[in-house]
Structure 1
Amino acid sequence: MSSTVMIAGVVLIFAALAMVIAALVLAPKAEGGVGRSIAVLEALTSAPAEMKTELDAPFGERVLLPLLARAQGLGRKLTPADANERIHEKLELAGNPAGWTADRVSAGKVVGFFGALAVSLLISLAMGLTFLPTLGFVVAASVAGYMAPNLYLYQQAYDRSAKLQKALPDAIDLLTISVESGLGFDASVAQVARNTDGPLAEEFARLLQEMQIGRGRTDALRSMADRTNLPDLRAFVSAMVQADAFGIPIGQVLRVQSSEIRVKRRQWAEEQAQKVPVKILIPLIFCILPCLFIAVLGPAGISIMDNFSGKVG
């Protein structure tokens, strides 16, 4: 009985295999996975040039740019009406970094908010934090991601202001020498823009371009002052505007401004030198003195402990 069942099972297995083979042979020739892939490749190679151009575009153009466009639209909806003006002012103070516009700053805030939200949530789940710590961490990270573009622009404006402060005395000296040697104000500004570099040279070049396209000297100077937050440069622009309005010789005004800025620079250097003892006090107390105490009093403390413990006779 058992041998009969075994033979019947073998027969059924071979019959099933025969049916499968027959079905594969007699079935209509449909394109398999490899055939479909070859067909897709042939379709792509024979596709029109417009489709090839669209498919050959890099990942950034196909995915990132549309995502950025949607983020810009969402940023416009979430941003107040007067926020673009404030962003434009921050961009001017930062020197208009390449690729940065008001819409991109708003989009960067949206992307930073949701990106920091997702990353902080994943980190919280990975660390196994409870609800309240997770909530606090996620909220803090989301706010930081939202404020990241503003912080970047603030840092750029601060660095640019420091460069302007450093280059201003030399630029005004060169401007004074050029005017006193017989050049006009426009030619002197061109000399400063040509022979110096950095953000101050860019500002003088832009000042010259605005005057060359027909804008008044007073308006161009005031626009340069509005693009910076440096008090010394604003004072220089104010003096030049008053000299132009009252007909005072420019060379005399430049000589006075050069002397005053040199004095202010010397005073600024002395001020920074006076701040050094105060700034070094905290690392001295918390970093240097403990190491010094350990090196000096450590052996004495070990000897005292050995004496009290009775190890030394």
Structure 2
Amino acid sequence: MPGAASAVDPTPASISSPRFADGQLTGVLTVRAAQKAATIDGGSLSARIGTADYPVSVRPVAQTSRGAMLVVDTSGSMGASGMTTVRSAASAFLADAPADVSVGLVSFAGTAGIDVAPTKDRGRIQRAVNGLKSRGETTLYDAVALAAQGLGGFDDRSIILLSDGGDTQSKKATKAQATAALSKYGVRAEVIGFKTAESDNSVLAGFAKVGGGSVAAAGDAAAVRAAFEAAARALDSQINFTIRPAVSVRSLQTVVITGKANGAPFTVSTSVDFGAPPVAEPTTTPAPAADIDVAGPVARIAAPHGMGMTLLVGLVAIFLGVVVLAVAVLAPMFRSGRKRRVDTIERYISPNATMPAERTAQISPSSLSTSLIELGDRVMDGRESTTKTMKLIERADLPLRAGEWWVLRIVAIFVTVAAGLVLFGGGTLMNLVSGILGGAVGWFLPAFVLRFLAKRRSKKFEGQLPDVLTLVASSLATGFSLLQALDAVAKDSAEPAAKEFSRALAETRIGADVGESLERMAQRTQSENMHWAVMAIRIQREVGGNLGETLKTTAKTIREREELRRHVRGLSAEGRMSAYILIAMPIGIFFYEYYTNPSYISLLWTRSLGWVMIASGLVSLVIGVFWMRKVVDVQV
């Protein structure tokens, strides 16, 4: 765990990655200077362990694998100007950071993810930073925990965190868990507090304290850039140290290192576990070992009847490969509450580091999923449908990025194609048809589910709207202002109304007009009734009048329309059920005949007349679906 500098010392310093092995203590010493990189005087270093003093030997830090992670807040509170500041500051950091340091990028808004794993390709990091956009909520704690775990393969680890300290939506880590992750992995935290309406300096100071780093308040672009440059200088102000304590040094001890950097003295301390004292083991005469038959009978595995062993092994290998790929892709999205990504990043080895050759060729599941998501981001970027898809994801309140959505659709295609081949595969033609149908289902099914979830959430919001407007009107009647009434809705209403109104209030607190924020909420939820309510609020603000009475009248009208719509839906329930049965009946009969009498149903694709019947049946089914949908769809 990194140690913090003493409160009375003029020069702050910290120790990271302390490790006791083979009778020697090693670690990385970092000294922070104000305007330039600190030069540590190796000859001035001395160490005290307990009551004894020991010499300290040093070597260049470039011989140590070092990793740094840029952790950037991209929530809606940052705004376009904030992201411009981030791009400029990141460029300055990448230009000043030592060449041997691998740099990664973690961005967090509604979700947190590793955009780029630690790499020495500075251009790749800058391109990723340039592509960041400000939107959504804040998941600060998830991002800090994820960044700490992502640096687990390096000897010296540090994060450069830019945030206002606010957290509104973390689900996979709490503040305590994020702090524990920094402590567990020995990560040094250089924190830049970007001041917004949600600033929480106590959270940022806590991260810096446990990480042996510093906090720099930045209220403008110049201050942010200077803070990033200072973080880069800290990487230039490091040195590797080695201490050889006496054999008698055991258990948990405090190690204090003193020395000079740029002519100024510094003192830094940390706690190190030197292991338990040696215990003499009694001398015993081992009992003679019983003879073990290592060449006993070997159990043989028999393949299922009618299946060769080679085919069985091949099928098992394919199945295991599909399972591993699915786990690699989906694990980062569904793990929570424990070590989600301890093995997310395999060791990114420095050219100077000595590691076994086979380690460099391994790929961790998390790195595979990250690469797939990056590929998905590149595929989705610039497409006309991406904007519409992201609006649907936002309306459905799903924590997915564009790249994750693309990967999900690709996985769905593979799964449905495999399911089609297993369920309906037979001859070459049937395999081809099953594969095509499975691919079509896999491609369209996620989009259908997404629209269904978005529509269901919008309907739920519509159902809550009359009660919400009534609550706003009652609050206005008691003397509340409009913003106070909306705040009451955000606190007292159920989801999704509470979240949507909370977001609208957050937009007004950073300078947006309340009418525009509510209009965006109406567009986001596709609520025609909310459009009416916003129109009433805007008219009242322009011409005056009793807004409370206007909202009560609006709520009453919406409630009456909803009652009429439900009444019509109840009257048309019999027609809709008949439509469902008539549509499902030919499909169900086809599957039933396929499994009970395949020779009979196979005439449909083994005879020319059968293909004509399939085509005419599909055309008739599509026409019937549209016809019955129009008959039972009564607009209110």
TM band (smaller chain): 0.5 to 0.7
Go from structure 1 to structure 2 and tell me whether the alpha carbon gap of 1:142 and 1:71 turns closer, same or farther (over 3 Å shift): farther
Moved more, 49-58 or 203-212: 49-58
Q: Say which of 384, 388, 391 aligns to 1:82.
A: 384
Q: Say which of 412, 422, 427 aligns to 1:130.
A: 427
Unpaired runs of 5+ in structure 1?
Answer: 1-41, 43-47, 288-313
Q: Say which of 543, 551, 555 aligns to 1:246.
A: 543
Residue correspondence of structure 1 range 20-35 to structure 2 within 5 A: none
Partner of 1:139: 436
Contact 1:218 1:244 (C-alpha < 8 Å) held by counterparts: no
Contact 1:167 1:200 (C-alpha < 8 Å) held by counterparts: yes
Partner of 2:313: none
The whole-number CA distance in structure 2 between the counterparts of 1:245 and 1:102 is 40
The whole-number CA distance in structure 2 between the counterparts of 1:71 and 1:284 is 41
Residue correspondence of structure 1 range 138-177 to structure 2 within 5 A: 138-177=435-474
Does 2:363 correspond to 1:66?
A: no
Go from structure 1 to structure 2 and tell me whether the alpha carbon gap of 1:121 and 1:74 turns closer, same or farther (over 3 Å shift): farther
Does 2:391 correspond to 1:94?
A: no
Does 2:484 correspond to 1:187?
A: yes
Does 2:400 correspond to 1:103?
A: no
Q: Say which of 266, 269, 275 aligns to 2:563.
A: 266
How far apart are residue 205 of structure 1 and its match? 1.4
Unpaired runs of 5+ in structure 2?
Answer: 1-20, 22-26, 28-63, 67-150, 155-338, 347-363, 586-636
For 1:183, what is the secondary structure of its paired residue?
A: coil
Partner AA of 1:75 in structure 2: G
The whole-number CA distance in structure 2 between the counterparts of 1:167 and 1:265 is 11
Partner AA of 1:109 in structure 2: R
TM-score by length of 2: 0.34
Contact 2:376 2:402 (C-alpha < 8 Å) held by counterparts: no
The whole-number CA distance in structure 2 between the counterparts of 1:193 and 1:274 is 36
Partner AA of 2:395 in structure 1: L
The whole-number CA distance in structure 1 between the counterparts of 2:466 and 2:545 is 21
Go from structure 1 to structure 2 and tell me whether the alpha carbon gap of 1:59 and 1:115 turns closer, same or farther (over 3 Å shift): farther
Contact 1:176 1:258 (C-alpha < 8 Å) held by counterparts: no
Go from structure 1 to structure 2 and tell me whether the alpha carbon gap of 1:103 and 1:139 turns closer, same or farther (over 3 Å shift): same
TM-score by length of 1: 0.65
Partner of 1:306: none
The whole-number CA distance in structure 2 between the counterparts of 1:70 and 1:147 is 24
The whole-number CA distance in structure 1 between the counterparts of 2:152 and 2:580 is 60
The whole-number CA distance in structure 1 between the counterparts of 2:409 and 2:580 is 36
Go from structure 1 to structure 2 and tell me whether the alpha carbon gap of 1:150 and 1:284 turns closer, same or farther (over 3 Å shift): closer
Partner of 1:32: none
For 1:182, what is the secondary structure of its paired residue?
A: coil
CA RMSD of aligned residues (A): 3.6
Moved more, 104-113 or 241-250: 241-250
Does 2:534 correspond to 1:237?
A: yes
Report which of the two has the higher share of strand: 2
How far apart are residue 260 of structure 1 and its match? 0.7
The whole-number CA distance in structure 2 between the counterparts of 1:248 and 1:203 is 26
Go from structure 1 to structure 2 and tell me whether the alpha carbon gap of 1:284 and 1:209 turns closer, same or farther (over 3 Å shift): closer
Go from structure 1 to structure 2 and tell me whether the alpha carbon gap of 1:136 and 1:242 turns closer, same or farther (over 3 Å shift): farther
Contact 1:110 1:146 (C-alpha < 8 Å) held by counterparts: yes
Contact 1:71 1:110 (C-alpha < 8 Å) held by counterparts: no
Partner AA of 1:123 in structure 2: V
Does 2:256 correspond to 1:256?
A: no
How far apart are residue 259 of structure 1 and its match? 1.6
How far apart are residue 216 of structure 1 and its match? 0.7
Greater Cα radius of gyration, structure 1 or 2:
1
Report which of the two has the higher share of helix: 1
The whole-number CA distance in structure 2 between the counterparts of 1:275 and 1:183 is 43
Identity percentage of aligned residues: 20
How far apart are residue 215 of structure 1 and its match? 0.9
Partner AA of 1:106 in structure 2: W
